[in-house]
């Protein structure tokens, strides 16, 4: 079974950029492509960066239970396609979901075993600079900063916190979190029962051997 990793952060922190760097450096992780009703930016591709939908189409998807979670953010709808997440997990692929904070909490309720990571900006001033570079208007940036101040305290509810002061460093830390999770005891024990990762003798010792050195 694959695992679900949820990467969340205030708008402008750089979560999409960090996620892309990660996906370029790790195997067997698939990004969950979220749907949105907002207009695509010049560099964005439908089905790769986002699934771009008309508002009417999105609302129809809500009625049909297409989304694992959805929300209206800054005047546009965003949603996580349920089928993508469930299919990846069933097929044994780890999934990376890049999502806003309120969406992260909703998905965590549906998938309590998901691993949550909060990407933290090094300062509010740096967050302002990043928003300016992305071309947000002053009124739009002010609204997003106000929301960010409410979202940052939510970091204490996440499993991991990464400070995005340098993109490569943040991506490497995210990669370490995913790789280390693959070595968790229960994950490894489940894996060795399903495939030829270790010899039959090792499996038998793990399952029925006596641990030397452990106090009764």
The answer as to whether 200 is a domain residue is: no
Task: Please give the tally of structural domains in the chain.
Answer: 1
Q: Which residues contact 212 (CB under 8 A, 6 or more apart)?
A: none
C-alpha 95/C-alpha 181 separation (Å) is 13
The answer as to whether 193 is a domain residue is: no
Closest CA to 162 of 21, 1, 45, 3: 21
35-36/76-81 β-pairing:
antiparallel
The answer as to whether 79 is a domain residue is: yes
The answer as to whether 163 is a domain residue is: yes
**pLDDT tens per residue, the chain (216 residues)?**
799 999 999 988 999 999 999 999 999 999 999 999 999 988 899 998 899 999 999 999 999 999 999 988 878 999 999 999 999 999 989 999 999 999 999 999 999 999 999 999 999 999 988 888 877 777 778 888 999 999 999 999 999 999 999 999 999 999 999 999 999 998 888 888 776 778 888 888 888 888 887 765
Domain encompassing residue 178: 4-183
Could you count the other beta carbons within 10 Å of the beta carbon of residue 2? 17
Q: How far is CA 108 from CA 29, 103, 176, 200, in A?
A: 18, 9, 21, 37
Q: Which residues contact 204 (CB under 8 A, 6 or more apart)?
A: none
The answer as to whether 114 is a domain residue is: yes
CB 24 within 8 A of CB 41: no
CATH number at residue 164: 3.40.50.300
C-alpha 42/C-alpha 50 separation (Å) is 13
For the question of whether the overall pTM of this predicted structure is more than 0.75, the answer is yes
By CB atoms closer than 10 A (0-12, 13-18, 19+), residue 138 is: exposed
C-alpha 149/C-alpha 58 separation (Å) is 29
The answer as to whether 115 is a domain residue is: yes
């Amino acid at each position: 079974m694959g695992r679900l990793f949820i990467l969340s952060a205030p708008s402008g922190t750089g979560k999409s950029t960090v996620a892309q760097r990660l996906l370029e450096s790790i195997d067997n992780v698939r990004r969950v492509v979220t749907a949105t009703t907002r207009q695509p930016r010049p560099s964005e591709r439908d089905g790769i960066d986002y699934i771009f939908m008309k508002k009417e189409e999105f609302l129809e998807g809500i009625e049909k239970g297409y989304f694992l979670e959805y929300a209206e953010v800054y005047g546009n709808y965003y949603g996580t396609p349920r089928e993508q997440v469930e299919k990846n997990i069933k097929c044994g692929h780890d999934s990376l979901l890049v999502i806003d904070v309120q969406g992260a909490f909703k998905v965590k309720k549906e998938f309590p075993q998901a691993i949550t990571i909060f990407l933290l900006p090094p300062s509010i001033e740096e967050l302002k600079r990043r928003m300016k570079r992305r071309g947000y208007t002053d009124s739009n940036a002010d609204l997003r900063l106000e929301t960010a101040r409410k979202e940052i305290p939510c970091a204490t509810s996440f499993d991991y916190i990464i400070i995005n002061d340098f993109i490569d460093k943040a991506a490497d830390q995210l990669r370490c979190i995913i790789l280390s999770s693959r070595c968790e005891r229960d994950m490894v024990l489940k894996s060795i029962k399903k495939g030829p990762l270790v010899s039959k003798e090792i499996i038998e010792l793990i399952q029925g051997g006596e641990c030397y050195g452990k106090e009764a």
